[in-house]
Structure 1
Amino acid sequence: MAGRLQPFGPKGVPSGIAKSPVDGPVRVTTVGLDIDEQGDPRHHGGPEKALHHYPRDHYAGWRQELAGQGGNVAPLDQPGAFGENLSTVGVTEADVCVGDRYRLGTALLEVSQARQPCWKLNHRFGFAGMSRAVQGSGRTGWYYRVIEEGEIAAGDRLELVNRPYPQWTLQRLLHVLYVDRLNYAALAEMAELPCLAESWRKLARQRVASQVVEDMEKRLAGG
């Protein structure tokens, strides 16, 4: 999936969150799909967030929950609803680990971090609590860095080729980040994971040093 910049939200900020399926092979570089765009390069895209993966497995649950909240379920009619580039069935945050390497097409990808949902999801789905719901559910999706550039296409099989940290599933990572938030032993271990994005390792170090959980309000609700 890929998207072009469009005005988004009440302030019309440029965003590429609305992504659509792409036919045929697409070039993948160290900063993502060569036909994809991001409106906020400080927080989206780049080498540590080159590709976003969101499991199609989660869509049915979100459809039910959003309908109950009066939200907009229309984006769920096709893959790309969460701004993801990759969508699969049969693998979730419980199955994927930090540092996993996957062959997809001719590209080699490495799991760098889970997603930290932001306020844009609230507008995307017409539900002011959507970013918090995604964070609280652990159904966040995840990002890859690109180890070897190449081409990918819809229907390519995602093949695990290496798993250096099987004890660090994304489910566990998210539990430490959002539930057991001042588990200093886990945070210290997290800070030493060489495959984890540096921004997450820094966050872990700061929590250990300050013994305080950082403010997430601006990210979740917008400024």
Structure 2
Amino acid sequence: MAHVSIFIGGIRPLPESGRPTGMYKSQVSSAEVAREGFIGDQQADRRVHGGPDKAVHFYPARHYEQLAARFPEARESLRPGGLGENLSSLELDERDIRIGDIWSLGTARLQVSQPRTPCWKIDERFSCEGMAAFIAERLLTGWYWRVLEPGRVSPGDTLDLSTPALDAPTLSEAMLLWQEHRPFLPDLERLAQTPGLAVGWRDKINQRLAWLRRAGAG
């Protein structure tokens, strides 16, 4: 069980380029969850955010202290909701979560689908060059969920693991494998076959497998 905060937001311009982003969000006490995410929440670039496999974004609240220690100039802005997440909690991080895990939140059911890939907009949003790279290198990425059953989240509702994916890798294990320069191919093949894995991430893994096989790796 984990106590969570909920964040929803529209699209706003970034401070320097003016490019649109859905990263700016406000905390709410209750919300409706549909197949593609929280009602009222928006994503600026639907090619890389949102959609059925990236419907809800979770970011561990405990990561913000690490970010603030590395980027003290942004400390005041580095608080839950700041990285565009819909859900945040001090009680969970990537070591606790397995790909394919099914969790309940209010009357909704969510399934872990993939880690988040941090993008350049994080650097501009916080005016800190290198923050996105730091997040990726330290595996402080958070993750996405697909919505298996839409529902409502009310004040006091907790996030509860209902169907654990016991044979699946944790998100931390999956990301460590993905970061390896020459991963063991059978391990990468097993990762690609993990039930519940997002289609887009599975495609990237399979593309990398094909390249590694051509290069004679593993």
Q: Given the two structures, how large is their TM-score scaled by the length of structure 1? A: 0.88
Displacement after TM superposition at 1:165 (Å):
3.9
State how 1:32-47 maps to structure 2 within 5 Å: 32-47=37-52
Deviation at 1:179, TM superposition (A): 3.2
| Distance in 2 separating the partners of 1:136 and 1:63 | 16
Structure 1 position 208, deviation (Å): 1.3
Provide the residue aligned with 2:161 in structure 1: 160
Question: How much has 1:170 moved relative to structure 2?
Answer: 0.3
Instruction: Look up the match of 1:22.
Output: 28
**Letter of the structure 1 residue corresponding to residue 75 of structure 2:** V
Query: Given that residues 99 and 112 in structure 2 are in contact (C-alpha distance below 8 angstroms), is that contact kept between their aligned partners in structure 1?
Result: yes
- For 1:127, what is the secondary structure of its paired residue? coil
Match of 2:216 in 1: none
Supply the AA of the counterpart residue of 1:46: G
Given that 1:22 and 1:154 are in contact with CA atoms closer than 8 Å, whether structure 2 keeps it comes out as no
Give the letter aligned to residue 41 of structure 1: R
Q: Classify the secondary structure of the residue corresponding to 1:87.
A: strand
Letter paired with 1:175: L
Change (3 A) 1:166 1:156: farther
Unaligned runs of 5+ in 2: 1-6, 214-218
Q: Per the alignment, in what secondary structure is the counterpart of residue 103 of structure 1? A: strand
- Equivalence for 2:199: 198
What residue in structure 2 maps to residue 104 of structure 1?
105
TM-score normalized by the length of structure 2: 0.90
Distance 2:18 2:64 in 1: 26
RMSD over equivalenced CA pairs, Å: 1.5
| Aligned amino acid, residue 74 of structure 1 | E
Higher alpha-carbon deviation: 109-118 or 1-10:
1-10
Contact kept in structure 2, 1:102 and 1:159, CA below 8 Å: yes
User: Which stretches of structure 1, 4 residues or more, deviate above 6 A after TM superposition?
Assistant: none
Counterpart residue number, 2:19: 13
Helix, strand or coil at the partner of 1:211: helix
The residue type equivalent to 1:169 in the other structure is: T
- TM-superposed deviation, 1:186: 1.4
For 1:14 and 1:120, the matched residues in 2 are separated by: 9
Contact 1:113 1:196 in 2 (8 A): yes
Q: Give the C-alpha shift of residue 154 in structure 1.
A: 4.8
Compared with structure 1, are the counterparts of its residues 181 and 82 closer, same or farther at alpha carbon in structure 2 (3 Å cutoff)? farther
Q: CA deviation at 1:9?
A: 4.4
Q: Please list every run of 5 or more consecutive structure 1 residues that lacks an aligned counterpart in the other structure.
A: 213-223
